[in-house]
Structure 1
Amino acid sequence: MSDWERSSTVRVVPPAHPRRLAKVPFVELADGRLQGVVSSGSDIERVYVSSVAAGSFAFACSTNNNRPCGGARGWFCNHIRALVGEAVLQYGAERVGRYMRVEPADAEPSAMLLLTQMSGARPARGDSAAAAPVFSRFLRHLAYLELAPTTAPLPEMQWFPPTRAVA
């Protein structure tokens, strides 16, 4: 067993490239979707929760108080385009493409190529039910950033099963 498997911390995979957290503060590949939170370009207090389903490319985009995005009218809005771009920076184009089940192209994968391939499939309007859990996870991540650095255990992380003692 390696050192990281015996420790109480998880190995963090560094991002493929530095990200612009002001525009897309939260992005994840989870629940069969590329999903995240995108800042509004016009209102500092408004964010959009955007998602694209893997395989079908069904998409949803709404504000943090569940108002539909005005730009998502049959095609990917600018929030979804920004989300895909930041996902490529965070995870790399190949990983995002595999997760989203985009057919590999002859060219080197990029955010623009992934968007073109997903848009070419004529994505359908998706279900916005994912917005609440995604926004909740984003807020939980923000709360962790406000904690003072410590090596003491966090009570909410106590769900990990106990490991057997190593002699």
Structure 2
Amino acid sequence: MSPEWQKSSTARVLPPARPRKLAKVPFVELADGRLQGVVSSGSDIERVYVSSIAAGTFAYACSTNNNRPCGGARGGYCNHIRALVTEASLQYGSERVGRYLRVDTGDGEQTAASLLSGMTGTRPGQDESKAAATVFSRFLRHLAYLELAPSTAPLPEMQWFPPTRAVA
């Protein structure tokens, strides 16, 4: 017998573990074997950073939306990556983020701070920096959906399945 979620054409949406600050980290996701997202710059309102941490290896990348490397991500996690982990912990819960990234904190209770301290052997990642364009593109796609007027009509780009009846 297949699970209930496999019988549905919709995905289950989990509510956030706690409210988070969308102005600082407007986009965060656990996808493609990484914790990744978009983090606002603290100094320039028109600049955002695309940050990511790979699951298991904890290799990281942080660069602007124009692919300029983050100046703070030298030899360790920058403030953008720290903010990403903090907001992901609020969005998904620290336990889920820790399981996804395969972080062993050694203690029973996980927090964003314990996740960051549990990710040892960090190094800049080559593959993670290549993913920045994909992450930023997903972020822009999410923004485009926010501009749509509320409607119950289907969106053409969301219709993945062929029609059930033949068209004459």
After TM superposition, is the score higher than 0.5? yes
Q: Which residue of 1 aligns with 2:61?
A: 60
Q: Equivalent pairs: percent with the same residue?
A: 77
Q: Which residue of 2 aligns with 1:76?
A: 77
The corresponding residue for 2:137 is: 136
Letter in 1 for 2:26: P
| 5+ residue gaps, structure 2 | none
Alignment of 1:29-40 (within 5 A): 29-40=30-41
CA contact (8 A) 1:32 1:53 kept: yes
TM-score (norm 1): 0.90
- 1:126 correspondence with 2:98: no
Give 1:102 deviation, angstroms: 0.7
2:50 maps to what in 1? 49
SS at structure 2 position matched to 1:51: strand
Cα distance between partner residues in 1 of 2:85 and 2:66: 22
Residues 64 and 70 of structure 2 are in contact (CA less than 8 Å); yes or no, is this contact kept in structure 1? Answer: yes
Equivalenced residues, count: 162
Aligned residue in 2 for 1:158: 159
Shift in CA distance, 15/124, structure 1 to aligned 2, threshold 3 Å? same
Deviation sequence 1:66-124 (CA, Å, 0-9, x none): 00000000100000000000000000011000000111422410000000011xx1201
1:92 is aligned to 93
- Cα distance, 1:160 vs structure 2: 3.7
> Any conservation in 1 of the 2:105–2:114 contact (CA below 8 Å)?
no
Q: Aligned equivalents of 1:74 and 1:115: distance in 2?
A: 14
Partner deviation per Cα, 1:10-67 (whole Å, 9 max, x = no partner): 3321000001000000000000000000000000000000000000000000000000
Aligned to 1:25: 26
Is the alpha carbon distance of 1:63 and 1:2 closer, same or farther for their aligned partners in structure 2, counting shifts above 3 Å? same
Partners of 1:75 and 1:122 within 8 A in 2: no
Partners of 1:7 and 1:75 lie apart in 2 by 43
